[in-house]
Structure 1
Amino acid sequence: MDESVVVTPDWLAAHLEDPKLRVVDVRDPWEYDGIGHVPGAVSIPFDSYRDESDVDRGTLPGAAAFADLLSESGIAPDDTIVAYDDTHGVFAARFVLTALEYGHDDVRLLDGDYSAWNRDHETTSEVSELEATTYDPDPLAREESPLVGFEAVEDALERDAVFVDTREEHEFEDARLPSAVRFDWREVVDDETRRLKPEGELEALLAEYGITPDREIVLYCNTARRISHTYVVLRALGYEDVAFYEGSLTEWLANDGEVESGEVE
């Protein structure tokens, strides 16, 4: 796995003293305070970087709001960020995607979650003292961003793209994009270790669904949370042609996009 995208607990433990490393805990504040956290981690709860009112970019908070959040958390644009949660990384992956979209060059996902870290490494309840920064965001241009909108998805339906739906089976059967394949985002996680499965196993698993590096991939779910995890995993595996439908099925249905329903034979 590409360490510039996903890092192991051992990697994080070895770099905790790096003054340019910032560890971000996206769990609820009561978990951060009451259960403990990775030493030096700052609390940036999931809801703080999600904005349902942002009609332009779906649930993204907006560049200025996200920059204010990072500034308050003592994070600078040239810091290395490692994000984690306690839900196999799905909420932390959303933070990674958000930071990338707003131009942060070095942001990574912890392979596993807090429970995986807690098995072999030290935790603390001490809250780190934060020194605010002035964070100037540099959002990706539309042509650089992996995020795509309704019209781009319509165009991709006319090509040989693989549409990957990461939702639950009942959601998939209720309504899905035409020709989509259902891939449960949790399939990439080893239930026992709580970490990602080995690289070779992941590649074989994805290939079973036709999700291969030589294909154009379009990811969607309902509100773009679950696809964040799949997107990060694909990037870590070296996939290059991966589009992220930020509006997902919520936007698609609102625009009367064509859908299929029912069980897949």
Structure 2
Amino acid sequence: MKKTAKLLLLLLTFAIILTGCEADISVPGEVGQDIITADEALKMIEEGEVVVVDAQQSGDFEDQHLDGAVNIARNDITTFGPYPNMLADASKVESSLGENGISNQTKVLIYDNNNNMDAARLWWTMLVYGHDTANMKVISGGLNALKEAGANFVSGDYEVEAVEYKAAEKNEELIAAKEEVLAEVNNPSENVEILDVRTAAEVNKGIIPGAIHINYVNNNKDNGEFYPPSYIQRYYPDNGITPDEEVIMYCQTSIRAAQSFIALHNAGYRDLKLYDGAWIEWSSDSSTPKAVPTGAPAKPSAQDGS
């Protein structure tokens, strides 16, 4: 029996090497728990009590939204000071969630029409304030994917019964301040990576020194849906971001960075932080160092578009 078990282990190891999936075995967290397909979302809506949140801007929501959805827009969960789109305080988030029928125990499905970024930002905000990850999912591909799945869309406003939401203490482990990023730039750690998720045109004008550039849209397939965890688990290590490292990510105001956050979290990465002040804070400070990037992200060694 021992020889048989040893042989099976050797065969499994050889198979993993051949398929290029070695990154999959080292991820520390559960995989595939945060992002669901439109078909899965519609099935959940049919089977149980969930609140579907449309994260579009209010005007777009009024034009069209999933029948039965409530609207929590970016402005409902962010503040404009000291820099745009920063995390709102607990009281504002509590109001935005509670007024839309969301309690601490509510199962929440979130979608948008904006490359999954606003849905991901709401998901991250709820994570920061203690909502159970088992009770919140982002619908991959958002509005367009739901339409393709045959969902019923309506226009106009909505009514919902308000409930109480009590935010937990803000989880600072999910947030990086400028001082922390600066300390990492000045004295880089072997197990920390800074990730810039902006466009090439943006980073060519300046980037945080030492940051790796991976455009957040690279998390999406051509149809706007997220790539599966197996793809992310190859793509990011191929570009220098591995699950055993702490990853601090940012964009212009860290809305897009939240989309990369959930893509990595869904793939099992756990040591993740959002630099909430982002490039707009960093570039506004004349004392912070800036650099010009070189190169471009490599493609995964074996792409998985499923």
Q: 1:101 is aligned with what amino acid?
A: V
Distance 1:224-1:71 versus aligned 2 partners, 3 A rule? same
Distance 1:124 1:262, change over 3 A: closer
Give runs of aligned pairs for residues 103-182 of structure 1, distance below 5 A.
103-105=130-132, 106-125=135-154, 128-142=158-172, 145-157=173-185, 158-160=188-190, 161-182=192-213
State the distance in 1 between where 2:44 and 2:252 align: 36
Matching residue of 2:264: 234
What's 2:232 paired with?
202
Q: In 2, are the aligned partners of 1:54 and 1:62 still within 8 Å (CA)?
A: no
Q: 1:17 to 1:129 in 2, by over 3 A?
A: farther
User: Which residue identity lines up with residue 107 of structure 1 in the other structure?
Assistant: M
Q: Residues of 1 paired with 2:279 and 2:149: CA distance?
A: 39
Cα deviation for residue 258 of structure 1 reads 1.3
What is the identity percentage for the equivalent residue pairs of Structure 1 and Structure 2?
23
Partner of 1:250: 280
- Tell me the CA shift for residue 263 of structure 1: 4.6
CA positional deviation for 1:242: 1.6
What per-residue deviation string (whole Å, max 9, x for no partner) do you get for residues 17-60 of structure 1?
4554111001123332323x2232101122222211257x9611
TM-score by length of 1: 0.89
Q: Residue 126 of structure 2 corresponds to which residue in structure 1?
A: 99
1:46-125 correspondence runs (5 A):
46-53=74-81, 59-105=86-132, 106-125=135-154
1:228 Cα deviation after fit: 0.3
Q: How many residues align?
A: 260
Deviation per CA, 1:78-132, whole angstroms, max 9, x where unpaired?
1111111012211111111111112222322111110011002222316553111
How far 1:151 moved relative to its partner? 2.0
Residue 89 and residue 58 in structure 1: after superposition, are their counterparts in 2 closer, same or farther (change >3 A)?
closer
For structure 2, list consecutive stretches of 5 or more residues without a partner in the other structure. 1-29, 297-306
Match of 1:29 in 2: 58
Which amino acid letter does the alignment assign opposite residue 169 of structure 2? P
Q: 1:6 aligns with which of 28, 35, 42?
A: 35
SS at match of 2:153: coil
- Is the counterpart of residue 223 in structure 1 residue 253 in structure 2? yes
RMSD after superposition? 2.2
Of residues 127-136 and 58-67 in structure 1, the stretch that sits farther from structure 2 once superposed is 127-136
Work out the CA distance in 2 between the residues paired with 1:264 and 1:60. 32
Q: For the Cα contact (< 8 Å) 1:163–1:217, is it kept in 2?
A: yes
Task: Please identify which structure carries the higher helix content.
Answer: 2
Letter in 2 for 1:177: I
- The whole-number CA distance in structure 2 between the counterparts of 1:257 and 1:123 is 49
Counterpart residue identity of residue 155, structure 1: A
Range that drifts further, 81-90 or 254-263: 254-263
- One-letter amino acid matched to 2:92: A
Q: CA deviation at 1:226?
A: 0.9
Q: Which amino acid aligns with 2:177?
A: G
CA distance in 1, matches of 2:211, 2:153: 44
Flag the 1:84–1:196 CA change in 2: closer, same or farther, 3 A. Answer: same
Which one is further off, 38-47 or 234-243? Answer: 38-47
SS of structure 1 residue aligned to 2:41 = helix
The residue aligned with 1:183 is 214
Q: Output one character per residue of 1:173-195: Cα deviation in whole Å (capped at 9) or x when no partner.
A: 2111111111010011111x321
Q: Answer yes or no: is the 8 Å Cα contact 2:37–2:139 preserved in 1.
A: yes
